[in-house]
Every structure is written in structure tokens, then in C-alpha cells.
Amino acid sequence: MSEHFTYDPRLNIMIPTLDKPWTTYSMQTQYLILAEWEKIRGHIPDRIIEVEKEINRKQELLNHEEDFDTSCELNGEIAELASIINDLWIWFRATQHVSLVKTHS
């Protein structure tokens, strides 16, 4: 099923990449895609925790940083990590609803 997923280096997870409308896939293929996605999706909270730890580490550095340029750089990195967490939650929640609808239709 890996042909239906692509590695996203920014999020550090595989994400669905369907090349045609969902309803054109056979029921068996839909089931296999959903089963694989549920495995991947189950790791998203762990990935979020990893990113949160990195944010906390950078915030600790920022708390002790006296150089303005370095502080700005750390702030930018923290903002990017927060954006990654937001995107991970979007993937986690958006596809949850799709999975529920598709498996019960």
C-alpha cells in the first residue's frame, strides 16, 4: 500500500497521496488504504510529543539566551515546530472523520 502514501520530511510521517477520487478505488483497496492509514495515524500523537519536547528544549535555550539574533532564530524555530504540531493534528483529525464515514458506508 505504500504507493498510496508519501513520506513528508517536514512532518516526519507518511501521508496519504491518492492519485484518483476515493470512490473509484475498489472496496478492498479502500480498506487496505484505511488500515494502513490507521497504523500511521496511531503514531501521530507520539510524533507530536517528540516535537513538543523539541519546543521545550528550544524554549529553555531561549530563556537563557542573551543574544538578540540568536533569540530571534530560536523564536522562528519554535514557531515552525508549533506549525508542524498544528499540521499533525489536522492530519490526525481530518482523516479520522473520513475513516469513520468510509468504513461504515
- 42-59 pLDDT, tens per residue? 999 999 999 999 999 999
**Residues in a beta bridge with 7:** 14
pTM recorded for the entire structure = 0.83
Position 17 pLDDT exceeds 50: yes
What are the tens digits of pLDDT across the range 56-105?
Answer: 999 999 999 999 999 999 999 999 999 999 999 999 987 654 544 444 44
How far apart, in whole angstroms, are the C-alpha atoms of residue 70 and residue 61?
10
How far apart, in whole angstroms, are the C-alpha atoms of residue 105 and residue 100?
9
Residues 6+ apart with CB under 8 A from 61: 74
Question: Sign of the CA dihedral 11, 13, 14, 15?
Answer: negative
